[in-house]
Amino acid sequence: MSYTPAALVLADGKIFRGRAFGAMGRTLGEAVFTTAMTGYQETMTDPSYHRQIVVATAPQIGNTGWNDEDSESRGDNIWVAGLVIRDLSRSVSNWRADRSLTDEMEAQGIIGIQNVDTRAIVRHLRDKGSVAAGLFSGDALTSDEEMLSQVQSQPSMAGADLSADVSTDELYVVEPEGETKYTVIAYDMGIKTNTPREFSKRGVRSVVVPSNTSFEEVQKLMEEYNATGVFISNGPGDPATADATVEELKKILAAKIPFFGICFGNQLLGRALGMETYKLKFGHRGTNVPVLDHQTGRIDITAQNHGFALKGKALEKFDTPFGEAQVTHTCLNDDVVEGVALLDGSAFSVQYHPESAAGPHDANPLFDKFFANLEKNS
């Protein structure tokens, strides 16, 4: 078996050397880590990871191969900029696998590095924070100085407007299983495929629209499809760059249309309500993050993937042009805001991923909560 050297270069000058796998060449992005022990296919195809080089804390990756069912992006695209792992499984051992992880990465041009000390990398990112990085292999592996220069010259994730990169260019519809009970207009900021699937299980049709859809267009679509609610999905980048969407969301809130937001959608709802967002030191990425729902006292173990968050405190109430609002959820690890809502019940959102894929299903009933809001408004 041939050995091709590779290097992970961080913008602070730290360099980790290992062995290349997947495609060869150069890729740039923000180095982040995920604590998920399973679900690497779902992670890699999640559009929220656009422009990020993902470091896996799980010691072995690739043992379940790659299948044609579990991808979380439309078209099965891999969105991570690169993958950093400790050990690559030499054989695939799962009855659902259609091919190996390496085969899929080569086919989609995704660069990886293995045989590096991922524990040391994660400790570095935890202590120093997520940082610009680059993966280099093959002919792209040059001098340390040249590689570092390329890494340091890339744009920062703060201020990055990435939703347009991952959003659909045109409307599409995901039909429900069985009878159509309700219809929602779903803004695609980088939507995971399991979200419309969760709506579909409940008899809800999803009319998925581009990230730049105006309120006027939403109104027309609501009339055309007899829709009764609006949803804003997860997505990559800095929410401060999405103020155009925030302005459209304000019109939706003023009209008292039932609203539900996930991840990026939570940040946009917060900004529409007058809250500020900020970049976390190293973010929340994994499938084991505890969140407290302050309204019910329930603790959910959640799947998360976000590098930005809302500024606020647990149970903080504040006035908005749309009525009184409250911080409803916080993370038990670090008190980061994980949910916000209008107290009249017309709009709510969470920072984590109730659609899971991969991850625990504790928060899945949030889809039922939104369904109940649609019922009230029908």
User: What are the pLDDT digits (tens) for 259-279?
Assistant: 999 999 999 999 999 999 999
Alpha helices in the chain (DSSP H): 40-45, 101-108, 118-128, 144-152, 163-166, 194-201, 215-225, 243-254, 264-272, 366-377
> DSSP label at 154?
S
Q: What is the CA radius of gyration of the chain?
A: 21
329 is catalytic: no
Query: At 140, is the secondary structure helix, strand, or coil?
Result: helix
Q: Is 331 a catalytic residue?
A: no
5-152, CATH topology level: Glucose Oxidase; domain 1 (3.50.30)
Using alpha carbons only, give the angle 322, 271, 34 rounded to the nearest 5 degrees.
135
The amino acid at 212: N
- Residue in 124, 198, 263, 306 annotated catalytic: 263
Assign 102 a pLDDT band (cuts: 50, 70, 90).
Answer: very high
Q: What is the pLDDT of residue 3?
A: 86
Question: What does the pLDDT read at residue 318?
Answer: 97
| Side-chain half-sphere exposure of 4, counting CA atoms within 13 A | 16
In this predicted structure, what is the pLDDT of residue 284? 97
Q: What is the mean pLDDT of residues 230-252?
A: 97
Question: Using 50, 70 and 90 to split pLDDT, how confident is the model at 99?
Answer: very high
249 class by beta-carbon count within 10 Å (0-12 exposed, 13-18 middle, 19+ buried): buried
CA distances from 324 to 141, 166, 268, 345 (A): 55, 33, 17, 10
* The length of the chain, given as a count of residues: 378
Domain with CATH 3.40.50.880 in the chain: 163-377
pLDDT tens-digit readout, 294-351: 999 999 999 999 999 999 999 999 999 999 999 999 999 999 999 999 999 999 999 9
Residue pLDDT, tens place only, 337-374: 999 999 999 999 999 999 988 889 999 999 999 999 99
Delimit the CATH 3.50.30.20 region(s) of the chain.
5-152
359: left (phi over 0), alpha (psi -120 to 50) or beta: left
pLDDT above 80 for 378 = no
> What local confidence, expressed as pLDDT, does residue 136 receive?
98
* pLDDT number for residue 357: 86
Check residue 1 and give its pLDDT. 54
Which CATH number among 3.40.350.10, 3.30.70.20, 1.10.260.40, 3.40.50.880 corresponds to the domain 163-377? 3.40.50.880
Mean pLDDT of the chain: 96
What's at 240, amino acid-wise? Answer: A
Q: Give residue-wise pLDDT tens across range 109-158.
A: 999 999 999 999 999 999 999 999 999 999 999 999 999 999 999 998 88
